């Protein structure tokens, strides 16, 4: 009998066999068909599962919830509201209604707003802000004027005019370029303020081009024109909520200071000292301002300088005396300056300046968490940071000075701790096991002292950088009195206190104040490896200089094919060693930024010697212990961090005592072993 055919049917599992219409199949046949059908279905399921896995693998690894938009978007809104909550002031609320009406009129919007009384909202807003924990108020809790009020209760008022010289990166910088590519931020801050953040994020290449200086002239690059902001606000706050000099200015105002007797001498800290005068006439303006203040007020002037600003002040003292520059004569400082008060003065340089020029790194970058490090490297790679640092000739004034005499040799340094397992004198060291593993050459892997590090950097930089350094700076130590006298006429020496004499001002008071007790980078463990030849170091400029007979080139760069890429050995951490090693950084003493030797050695020992202080100016040293409050973002009233010390109560008291004429109440105070360290230095 002929078999009847049935059309095929398709299940999820795939092809099923046609079933016979004949009901006379045996049980064995039926079982075989069932088994085959099950196998086909299972194979189909496995195929579908495989296809799904392939599809998922193409989509990439599954993102965690914290990285998804459904989490990040609401988080961004919450953070934005909190930021606005912190920054909005009561008077902003009071003017909301008026501002909204003006906006509607400007855009001709047909909308009638009801009259709203914001006075009650303002009252509630003030009450709510007053109950916010200190950590959210960025230290603005009403204590800003307390030091000034205390001085006022003693009937102390403004006596001497005050001139403030800020430190490196403290002064805001503005763009004055009218070139089409820079017009979007004309007269806006390219350094300081929230506008800088937006430019860095959304217009990074143009921002870097504006901030970079010309490698040959040390001045603006073609088309760019960046200048220091003017006035008290130039360095009061770095951005809203992050104060620098604001608290000191507030307390000075309580005792009678204003823009008639208080001057903030802002400057473009990117420039070399020479170019500060050459381009901006900075020292000429400073001289005229001080002379004007003395003439109007009838009193000599107090200069208070912070960090690199102390070096700028020393340079100014020699510049103003020089007949070829300021023309003030040898008695100008004596006749115009009452007190020179330095805060955290980086007189002998900083270790972090060396690492920044060498590899574009410092402790701040290598100790970042992985997310922060990724963001930094994403926006500013090490090579880009190198380019910026090396174009900013002003920052080269922070190179370490005095060489091995001050900073020690491979086995000893004056500030080594007892039973130290490794000396700070080796400013840059290499781990032997890492050297063997990378098969690095012996010459490149030898531990280096301060002097060798300087040469090592110069051998790896273009001749334009070497020329800039040799034309503007000197980093040695001079003991010969006759040579020191001749250095009065050599501007390259004026930023190095070891190669110049203090001014002829025997009645001028000199007060060194700095913090101590915060871990500070002192020396480093480095790693390096062979790299691809660096085109930027192909030294065409060197050959041109040699053809012209130039003698300004300090070092001949090594052949680029033999150069090694160097970086801080951030994988190396050991808290049990002495000194501690954290992310490749050897920890020493200081204020968190500048090392103790740099801030204190000249104050307690160097300037006690007539060769560097022939007028025998009395130098008073005050060390402030670092005792921050853990729940306050800037440390509170007893912090001595390099920047936050400007808001500490004791620091404000010292400045106000000097300004109001009771500076004689200030006595020397020590919390470190700086006198012991300084006595171990071979000054003579």
In three-state form (DSSP H/G/I as H, E/B as E, the rest C), the secondary structure along 483-537 is HHHHHHHCHHHCCCCCCCCCCCCCCCEEEEEEEECECEEEEEEEEEEECCCCHHH
CB 322 within 8 A of CB 487: no
d(CA 291, CA 285) in angstroms, rounded, equals 10
ω before 579 within 30° of 0 (cis)? yes
Q: What is the DSSP letter of 238?
A: E
The helix or strand, by DSSP H or E, that contains position 74, with its residue range, turns out to be: helix 69-87
> What pLDDT does 11 receive?
41
Is the predicted pLDDT of residue 510 greater than 80, yes or no? yes
CB 3 within 8 A of CB 22: yes
**E-assigned strand segments in 600-662:** 619-625
Tell me which of 46-60, 140-154, 274-288, 630-644 is least confident: 46-60
Is the predicted pLDDT of residue 663 greater than 90, yes or no? yes
pTM (two decimals): 0.78
- The C-alpha angle 271, 374, 70, rounded to 5 degrees, equals 125
155: left (phi over 0), alpha (psi -120 to 50) or beta: left
> What pLDDT does 72 receive?
63
> What pLDDT does 203 receive?
84
Is the predicted pLDDT of residue 121 greater than 50, yes or no? yes
Q: Tell me the Cα Rg of the chain.
A: 33
The most confident of 116-125, 203-212, 490-499, 540-549, by mean pLDDT: 490-499
Closest to 628 (Cα-Cα) out of 649, 654, 656: 649
243: which strand partners? 237
Orientation of helix 382-391 relative to helix 351-359, angle to 10°? 120
CB 449 within 8 A of CB 410: yes
- The C-alpha angle 618, 622, 623, rounded to 5 degrees, equals 145
93 falls in which pLDDT band (50, 70, 90)? low
138 falls in which pLDDT band (50, 70, 90)? very low
Mean pLDDT for 132-154 is 68
100 falls in which pLDDT band (50, 70, 90)? low
Residues that are catalytic: 307, 591, 642
């Amino acid at each position: 009998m002929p078999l009847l055919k049935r059309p095929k049917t398709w299940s999820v599992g795939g092809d099923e066999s046609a079933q016979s219409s004949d009901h006379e199949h045996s049980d064995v046949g039926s079982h075989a068909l069932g088994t085959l059908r099950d196998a086909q279905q299972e194979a189909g399921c496995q195929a579908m599962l495989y296809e799904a896995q392939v599809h998922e693998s193409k989509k990439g690894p599954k993102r965690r919830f914290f990285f998804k938009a459904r989490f990040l978007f609401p988080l961004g809104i919450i953070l934005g509201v909190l930021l606005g909550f912190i920054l909005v002031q009561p008077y902003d609320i009071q003017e909301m209604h008026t501002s909204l009406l003006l906006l509607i009129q400007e855009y001709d919007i047909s909308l009638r707003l009801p009259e709203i009384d914001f006075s009650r909202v303002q009252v509630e807003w003030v009450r709510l802000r007053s109950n916010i924990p200190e950590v959210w108020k960025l230290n603005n809790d009403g204590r800003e004027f307390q030091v000034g009020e205390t001085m006022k209760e003693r009937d102390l008022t403004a006596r001497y005019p005050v001139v403030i010289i800020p430190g490196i990166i403290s002064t805001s910088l503005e763009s004055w370029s009218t070139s089409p590519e820079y017009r979007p931020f004309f007269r806006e801050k390219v350094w300081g303020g929230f506008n800088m953040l937006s430019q860095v994020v959304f217009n990074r290449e143009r921002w870097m081009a504006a901030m970079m200086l010309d490698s040959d002239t040390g001045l603006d690059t073609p088309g760019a024109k960046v200048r220091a902001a003017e006035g008290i606000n130039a360095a009061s706050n770095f951005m809203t909520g992050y104060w620098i000099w604001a608290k000191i200015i507030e307390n000075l105002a309580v005792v009678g200071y204003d823009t008639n007797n208080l001057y903030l001498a802002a400057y473009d800290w990117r420039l070399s000292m020479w170019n500060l005068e050459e381009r901006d006439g900075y020292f000429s303006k400073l001289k005229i301002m001080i002379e004007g203040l003395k003439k109007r007020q009838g009193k000599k002037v107090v200069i208070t300088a912070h960090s690199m600003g102390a070096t700028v002040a020393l340079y100014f003292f020699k510049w103003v005396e020089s007949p070829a520059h300021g023309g003030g004569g040898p008695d100008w400082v004596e006749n115009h300056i009452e007190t020179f008060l330095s805060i955290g003065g980086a007189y002998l340089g900083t270790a972090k300046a060396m690492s920044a020029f060498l590899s574009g790194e410092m402790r701040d970058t290598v100790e970042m968490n992985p997310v922060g490090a990724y963001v930094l490297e994403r926006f500013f790679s090490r090579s880009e940071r190198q380019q910026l640092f090396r174009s900013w000739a002003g920052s080269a004034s922070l190179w370490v000075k005095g060489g091995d005499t001050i900073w020690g040799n491979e086995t000893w340094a004056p500030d080594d701790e007892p039973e130290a397992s490794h000396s700070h004198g080796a400013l840059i060291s290499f781990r032997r096991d890492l050297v063997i593993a990378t098969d690095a050459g012996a010459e490149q892997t030898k531990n280096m002292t301060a002097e060798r590090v300087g040469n090592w950097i110069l051998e790896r930089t273009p001749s334009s950088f070497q020329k800039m350094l040799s034309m503007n700076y000197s980093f040695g130590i001079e003991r010969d009195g006759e040579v020191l006298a001749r250095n009065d006429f050599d501007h390259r020496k004026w930023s190095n206190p070891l190669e110049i004499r203090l001014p002829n001002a025997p009645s001028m008071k000199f007060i060194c104040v700095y913090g101590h007790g915060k871990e500070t980078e002192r020396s480093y463990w480095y790693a390096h490896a062979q790299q691809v030849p660096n085109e930027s170091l192909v030294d065409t400029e060197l050959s041109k200089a040699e053809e012209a007979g130039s003698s300004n080139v300090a070092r001949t760069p090594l052949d680029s094919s033999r150069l090694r890429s160097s970086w801080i050995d951030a994988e190396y951490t050991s808290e049990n060693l002495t000194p501690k090693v954290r992310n490749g950084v050897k920890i020493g003493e200081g204020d968190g930024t500048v090392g103790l030797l740099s801030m204190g050695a000249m104050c307690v020992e160097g300037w006690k010697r007539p060769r560097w202080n022939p007028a025998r100016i009395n130098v008073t040293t005050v060390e402030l212990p670092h005792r921050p409050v853990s729940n306050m973002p800037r440390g509170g009233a007893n912090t001595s961090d390099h920047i936050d010390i400007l808001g500490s109560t004791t620091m404000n008291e010292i400045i106000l005592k000097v300004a109001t004429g009771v500076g004689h109440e200030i006595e020397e105070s020590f919390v470190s072993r700086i006198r012991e360290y300084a006595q171990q230095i071979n000054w003579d």
